[in-house]
């Protein structure tokens, strides 16, 4: 069991640190519908944490709570040892949380490079005025940020499409560009909403490799939602299983796989 908060080293040599984010008794309602019912779990520094569950289980709602887009009616969100107050999404972004979307949300008319540059926004300090005039700190900042973006482009192997407008790219590449933009923010915590949705086997393999490499190379903590069970089990250190807004399992992939409730949820035993 890995319930202790002592740092430990995984079988493949990565160090998993203390608790980065702690979700305590979260309940989220839309009118009379309870999308999330009293769920608690934590995300530890350096780990890949998956949230899985059948359609409508409340996975995306959970991700939106983490990203600050939804405010839960009950419960507390603790981030880096502090209770997080109600926040606007941009404030959450400044805390070091970045995300990708299930339905790609890129600027279609802009080039790949410019899209990724927008991810650097939270790191730019010069105002619009100075940037428009291109003087003083604005230029130095642009150069520095461009360099970081170029490293991400190199890392995700998208050099060939650097100057291509995003609208012209195939789906799989758009997903990669979205990951690049999220990475550009240098997040402490990276949220991926169904990163493999709609991909073929080869694209899934590529994406898995990139997710592992991001985690390994930058030490980024990753929380992801995914449908594809195989992928999740291979990638993640720990898995939260949701069904009808409740948490029905939490643990290592092996533990979760052996959990009767999880098996029932996936194989479709009647709920009463």
Partner 1 sequence: MTAPAPGGENSVPALLARNVAQHGNKAAYREKEFGIWQSWTWAEAAAEIDALAAGFLTLGANVGDHIAIAGRNRPALYWAMVAAQKAGCVPVPLYADAAAEEIAYALEHCGARFVVAGDQEQVDKIADIRDQLHELDHVIYLDGRGLRKYDHTHMTSYADLQKAGRAAGNMAEIEKRTAALGPDDKCVMLYTSGTTGRPKGVVLSNTNVIETSKNSAEFDHLRPGDEVLAYLPMAWVGDFIFSIGQAMWTGFCVNCPESAETMHTDLREIGPTYFFAPPRVFEQQLTNVMIRMEDAGRFKKWLFDKYMAVGRKIGPKILDAEPVSGMERFQYRLADWLVIGPLKNTLGLSRVRVGYTAGEAIGPEIFDFYRALGINLKQLYGQTEATVFITQQPDGEVRSDTVGVPSPGVELKIAENGEVFYRSPGVFVEYYKNAESTASTKDADGWVATGDAGFIEEGTGHLRIIDRAKDVGKMASGALFAPKYVENKLKFYPDILEAVVFGADREYCTAFINIDLTAVGNWAERNNIAYSSYQELSQHPRVLDTIEAHVAEVNKSVAADEMLAGCQVHRFLVLHKELDADDGEMTRTRKVRRRIVEEKFDDLIAALYGGQSEIYTETEVTYEDGRKGKITATLAIRDATVVNAGKVAAE
Residues 90-149 that bind partner 1 (CB under 8 A): 146-147
- Which of 38, 139, 203, 216 is the binder for partner 1 (CB under 8 A)? 216
CA neighbor of 42 nearest in space, from 12, 80, 96, 98? 80
Please tell me the distance from the alpha carbon of residue 87 to that of residue 84, in angstroms, as a whole number.
Answer: 8
Residues 155-184 that bind partner 1 (CB under 8 A): 155, 157, 159-160, 162
Which long-range CB contacts under 8 A does 86-91 form with residues at least 24 apart?
A: 90/122
| Shortest spacing between CB 44 and partner 1, in angstroms | 19
Q: Give the range of 49-57, 66-74, 211-219, 258-266 binding partner 1 by CB under 8 A.
A: 211-219
Cβ atoms 225, 63 nearer than 8 A = yes
Q: Give the range of 8-16, 83-91, 92-100, 122-130 binding partner 1 by CB under 8 A.
A: 8-16
Please tell me the distance from the alpha carbon of residue 137 to that of residue 98, in angstroms, as a whole number.
Answer: 25
Please tell me the distance from the alpha carbon of residue 98 to that of residue 94, in angstroms, as a whole number.
Answer: 9
| Shortest spacing between CB 267 and partner 1, in angstroms | 30
| Shortest spacing between CB 132 and partner 1, in angstroms | 23
Helices 171-184, 201-218: crossing angle, 10 deg rounding: 10
Give the helix/strand (H/E) hosting 133.
helix 128-133
| Shortest spacing between CB 68 and partner 1, in angstroms | 32
- Using the rule CB under 8 A, is 209 a contact of partner 1? yes
Which residues in this chain contact partner 1 in the complex, by CB under 8 A? Answer: 12-14, 146-147, 150-151, 153-155, 157, 159-160, 162, 209, 212-213, 216-217
């Amino acid at each position: 069991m890995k319930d202790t908060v002592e740092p430990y080293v995984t079988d493949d040599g990565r160090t998993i640190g203390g608790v980065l984010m702690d979700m305590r008794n979260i309940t989220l309602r839309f009118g009379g519908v309870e999308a999330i019912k009293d769920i608690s779990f934590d995300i530890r520094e350096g780990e890949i944490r998956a949230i899985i569950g059948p359609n409508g289980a409340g996975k995306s709602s959970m991700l939106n709570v983490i990203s600050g887009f939804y405010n839960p009616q009950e419960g507390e969100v603790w981030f880096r040892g502090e209770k997080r107050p109600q926040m606007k999404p941009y404030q959450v972004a400044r805390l070091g949380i970045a995300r990708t979307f299930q339905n790609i949300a890129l600027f279609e008319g802009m080039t790949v490079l410019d899209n990724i540059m927008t991810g650097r926004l939270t790191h730019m300090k010069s105002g619009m005025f100075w940037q428009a005039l291109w003087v003083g700190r604005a230029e130095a900042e642009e150069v520095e940020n461009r360099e970081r973006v170029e490293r991400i482009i190199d890392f995700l192997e998208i050099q060939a499409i650097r100057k291509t407008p995003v609208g012209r790219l195939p789906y799989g590449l758009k997903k990669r560009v979205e990951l690049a933009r999220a990475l550009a923010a240098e997040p402490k915590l990276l949220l991926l909403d169904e990163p493999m949705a709609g991909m073929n086997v080869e694209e899934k393999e590529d994406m898995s490799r990139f997710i592992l490499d991001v985690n390994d190379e930058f030490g980024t903590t990753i929380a992801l939602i995914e449908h594809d069970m195989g992928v999740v089990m291979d990638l993640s250190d720990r898995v939260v299983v949701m069904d009808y807004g409740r948490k029905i399992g939490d643990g290592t992939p092996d533990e979760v796989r052996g959990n009767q409730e999880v098996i029932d949820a996936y194989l479709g035993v009647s709920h009463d």
